[in-house]
Structure formats: structure tokens, C-alpha cells
Amino acid sequence: MKELIIGVSGINAIDNPGPGIGVARSLKEDAGIKVKIVGLAYDAMEPGIYMDWIVDKSYMMPYPSGSGDAFIERLLHIRKNYGLDCIIPNLDAELPVFIKYADDLAAHGIRTFLPGMEQFKLRGKDHLDEIADKINISLPRTKIVTSVDGLLKAIEELSLPVMVKGSFYKAYRCFTTAEAISHYHDLVAEWGYPIIVQQVVTGDEMNVVGLGDGEGNSLGLVGIKKLSITALGKIWTGVTVKNQKMLTAVAEFIRVFKWRGPFELECIVNGDEVFLIEINPRFPAWSYFATGVGINLPSRLVRRAFDLPVVPVPDYEAGKLFVRYTYELVTDMSAFQKAITKGEVP
């Protein structure tokens, strides 16, 4: 088969890493498909730009704001001048634009494999009660508020500490009312209403990365338990687990909602009770962990997008350890200068 040119975003492999490098590594490791990786970067300091053994070429991108027209024009420019057969977006802010323009991109020969807009909206924290109910797991006691008075009433009912969350992004554990009010105002200013106030639950933090085919079937999933995290909340070490109730709930999520594309479910598990905390409609930063234990989800996504053979979903072993580490790269300043002046490297 011909070489495929795959665009990958989120190549900011920093202290708050994006998923892109793990996704690109996974694609490179499938010996059955030949790929070139195009890094889609938003900052000239994103390390993926300079990791030329993984990312073959990088382009600077405009932020996907407003109508998204400039963003799409840049992608079509890349398609025309270098080639671009498929894109795996890995950042939350990009996804509404990619979903909106999926058919237009396909008409220009650029494939994606993403949920529809109605599916995408399910990841909003104000929809999690519906999802938890349908997949038979719990949700921490939750109040949706649109005023400070509503916030104070929610705190009174739930008792401190509470989690104060934006509808789609960011969450803060608050131990005082003053702290909750401060974060409430910050979240409203950044993301708008509603604000979610949630009971704090204890237990083991467990996540699942998965891939749905859009018809109710799983193309693979892997469950992990976080052993340690960074100050920014990113997993640093973890271990594969097989919590059957959690994995059954994830399979039900794929079946009931006919999820198409990658996702991550964040859970807290306390004994026999599994609490749904968050849904991310993309690959997580730790997705290479799944590849390392034999479940190469980015490769399976590309194969499905191009109607290539996809072997039956493999299993994985519990007890496999994931350790993130830092790495120093020394390169020539000319690459940085090209990113700044030309908007592409090399």
C-alpha cells in the first residue's frame, strides 16, 4: 500500500504533555503500514518539532478560534504542498473545528475518525449523570450552578471539601468557601456557565483509553491505575489493571452511545463502586502505554479510517508498569528559526 501522511497535533511533550508524540510513536511502530508524521504545532518551542526521528515534518498552525476558516485553509495548504491523508487531533480546543469541517476535509482527501457533534457534547460534565446511569456506574453527588447563591447552596448540601469544575475544562478541589467562590469566578470568566460543584470521593484513580468504531463496537481498550502524578495532574507512573466493572462500563459506553474515535474515561474506584469523573473525547497523554502492552489504538484508528485490515481486538496483561521520563535533545538553532520565519520544519 502507499505511504500515508498523517497529521498529528498535541506534540508539546513538556511538563504538561500532549498526546501527540505517543500517538506518532504508535503509528511508526505498526510495521504493516508505512507512514510519515506531520506535526501540527502552535508554538515554535513544542519539542515534537525537533524530534525528527518521530515527526517527519512540522507546520505551525493558527489557533482554531472563530469560524475556523484560517485553520482549515492551513490544513489544505499542507495537503497541497506536502500531502496530508489523515489527521488525528489530540487537543480539546481543536475538536469542534475538526468535527464541523470533517466532510469538507474528506472532500479534499483528508480523513478523520471522530465522534459527531452530539456525541462530542456528551463529554460535558453536565451530561455525566446521564452517561453514568446508562452504563451502570456511579457519579459523585453533583450540583449544577449558575450563580454564587447556587454555589453556596451546593456547598451547604455537599459539605466541604468540594470539587468546583468548568463544564468542559478544569477542576479545583476547594477546602474553604472563599476558595470555591474564587475558582467559581475564574471558571465563569474563562469558560462560562454552567459550573459544576461535586462531592469529593476517595479511592484509586483509574483511567481507561479506548477506541470505538461508531457502530457500537470496541476497537480496543486498556485500563490503568495511577501510581503517581505530577503537580499538574499528569500521570507519571501507572500500572495496567483489569477492574471488570469499570471495563464493562466502558464497553457499554461504546455500545450505548455508538462512540466513534478515541476517548478516555477517568474514574475513581472504591471497592465495588466505580465513580465516573470525566470523559475526554481524544487520546490521553499516556496513550502510548496501551501500545506498549500490545493495544496500538492510533494504528487501529488509521486502519479503520482507510478500511485496512484490523485484526480482532487483542487482550492485554494486568501488572505492566508505565514510567514517564525526561529527555534532553540538542539540535541546531536553524530549526527554531525556520519554525518562526517559514512556519514549517524542515
**DSSP sequence for 63-126:** ---TTSHHHHHHHHHHHHHT---EEE--SGGGHHHHHHTHHHHHHTT-B-----HHHHHTTSGG
| Statement: residue 169 has pLDDT above 80 | no
In Å, what is the CA distance from 303 to each residue of 15, 174, 280, 310, 311?
31, 44, 22, 6, 10
Contact between 322 and 237 under an 8 Å Cβ cutoff? The reply is yes
Note the pTM of the prediction, 2 decimals.
0.90
When the pLDDT of each residue in the chain is averaged and rounded to a whole number, the result is 93
Question: How many Å apart are CA 58 and CA 38, to the nearest integer?
Answer: 5
pLDDT one-digit tens code per residue, 315-332: 999 999 999 988 899 998
| Statement: residue 67 has pLDDT above 90 | no
Domain 4-113+328-345 matches domain 141-199 at the CATH topology level: no
Sequence ranges of the domains in the chain: 4-113+328-345, 120-124+202-323, 141-199
Strands 321-323 and 142-145: unpaired
Confidence of residue 87 (pLDDT cuts 50, 70, 90): very high
CATH number, domain 120-124+202-323: 3.30.470.20
State in Å, rounded, how far the first CA of the chain is from the last one: 26
Contact between 307 and 318 under an 8 Å Cβ cutoff? The reply is no
Q: Which of 4-8, 165-169, 269-273, 330-334 has the least mean pLDDT?
A: 165-169
CATH architecture of 141-199: 2-Layer Sandwich (3.30)
pLDDT for residue 132: 93
pLDDT for residue 83: 97
pLDDT for residue 327: 87
DSSP 201: -
CATH number, domain 4-113+328-345: 3.40.50.20
Confidence of residue 14 (pLDDT cuts 50, 70, 90): confident
